[in-house]
Amino acid sequence: MTPKAARWLFRGAAIYGLIILLPLYFLEKTVAAPAAALAHPEYYYGFVGAAAAWQLIYWTIGGDPLRYRAFMPLGVIAKLGFWVPVLLLWLNGRTPTSTFAVTNIDLILGIAFLLAWRTLKPPA
C-alpha cells in the first residue's frame, strides 16, 4: 500500500466512523435504552465518546501515515475490539444479524489497517 492509499484509508475510516457515531449522542432513548434496559447511560456515552476519539486518531494517522505508522496496530485492535464481541454476541443469539452485518465493516477496516501497517516502510 502506498502512503497516499493509506492516507485515504485512514481519513475515510475517520469520516465514516464519525458519521456513524456522532448521531448516537442524540439516540440513546431510541437505540440503547429499549434494547438494553439501560441502567447505566454513562457506559453508552462513554463508548460513543471513546469510539469518536479513535476516529480523530485515524484522521491523524491519515495525515502522515509514515510518521504515525506505529499507531496502526492499535487501530486494528480498536476495530477488532468491537467486531469480536459483536461476533460472539451474534453467535450466541444476543444481537441481530443486521447488527453483525454492519459491524463487518470494522473487520474489513481492521484488516486494511493491518495491511497498511505491514506494507508501508517504516521511516528511516
Cα separation, 42 vs 77, whole angstroms: 23
The residue length of the chain stands at 124
29: pLDDT strictly greater than 80: no
pLDDT at 21: 93
Cell 505508522 belongs to 69
pLDDT at 32: 65
Cell 471513546 belongs to 50
- 38-63 confidence digits (pLDDT tens): 667 788 889 899 999 999 999 999 99
- 74-94 confidence digits (pLDDT tens): 999 999 999 999 999 999 999
Neighbours of 55 (CB within 10 A): 21
Q: pLDDT band at residue 37, thresholds of 50, 70 and 90?
A: low
**Closest by alpha carbon to 6, among 53, 46, 47, 61?**
61
Mean pLDDT (the chain) is 91
101: pLDDT strictly greater than 70: yes
Cell 501515515 belongs to 65
- What the block records as the C-alpha cell of 17 is 466512523
Cell 458519521 belongs to 19
